[in-house]
A and B are shown apart, each in its own frame.
Chain A
Amino acid sequence: MDNTMNLLNLITPSMMIPIFPLLGFLILSFLGKRLGAFSGWVASMAILGSFLCSLNIFLGLDGQQLNYTIFKWISAGDLQIEFGFLIDHLSIIMLLVVTGIGFLIHLYSMGYMHHDEGFTRFFSYLNLFIFFMLLLVMGNNYAVMFIGWEGVGLCSYLLIGFWFKNQAYNNAAKKAFIMNRIGDLGFLIGIFALVFHFGTLDFMDIQNQLVSFESNAPVLIFITLMLFIGATGKSAQLPLYTWLPDAMAGPTPVSALIHAATMVTAGIYMICRSNLLFALAPFTLHIILIVGIATSLFAAIIGIKQNDIKKILAYSTVSQLGLMFAAIGLGAFESSMLHVMTHAFFKALLFLGAGSVIHAMGGEQDIRKMGGLNKSIKLTFVTFLIATLAISGIFPFAGFFSKDEILAKAFEHNLLVWALLSISSMITAFYMFRLLFLVFYGEFRGTEEQYKHLHESPISMTLPLMVLAVLSAFGGFLGLPAVLSSTHQLSEFLSPVFMASKSLKVEAHALTHEQEWLLMGIATLAALVSIYYAFHLYMKKKVIPENEEALSGLSKWVANKFYVDEFYHKVIVNPMLILSDLLLVLIDKLVIDLLVNLTALIVDSTGRIYRLIQTGSTGFYLIAMVLSMVIVMFIQIIL
Chain B
Amino acid sequence: MAEFLQFTVNAIILGGTYALLGIGLTLIFGIMRVVNFTHGDLYAFGAYMIYMFAALLRLDFFASIALAGVLGFLFGGAIEFVLLRPLTGADIDTTMLVMIGASIALQAGEQLIWTGVARSVPTPFSNAPVVIGPVSVLPIRLFVLSVAVCLLVGFYLLINRTRLGVAMRATFQDADTAALMGVNNGLIYTITFALGSSLAALAGALLGPIFVITPTMGNLVALKAFAIVILGGLGNIVGATVGGFVLAFAEEFGAGYISSGYRDGIGFLLIILVLIVRPQGLFAMKERIG
A and B found bound together: no
B interface, CB within 8 angstroms of A: none
A interface, CB within 8 angstroms of B: none
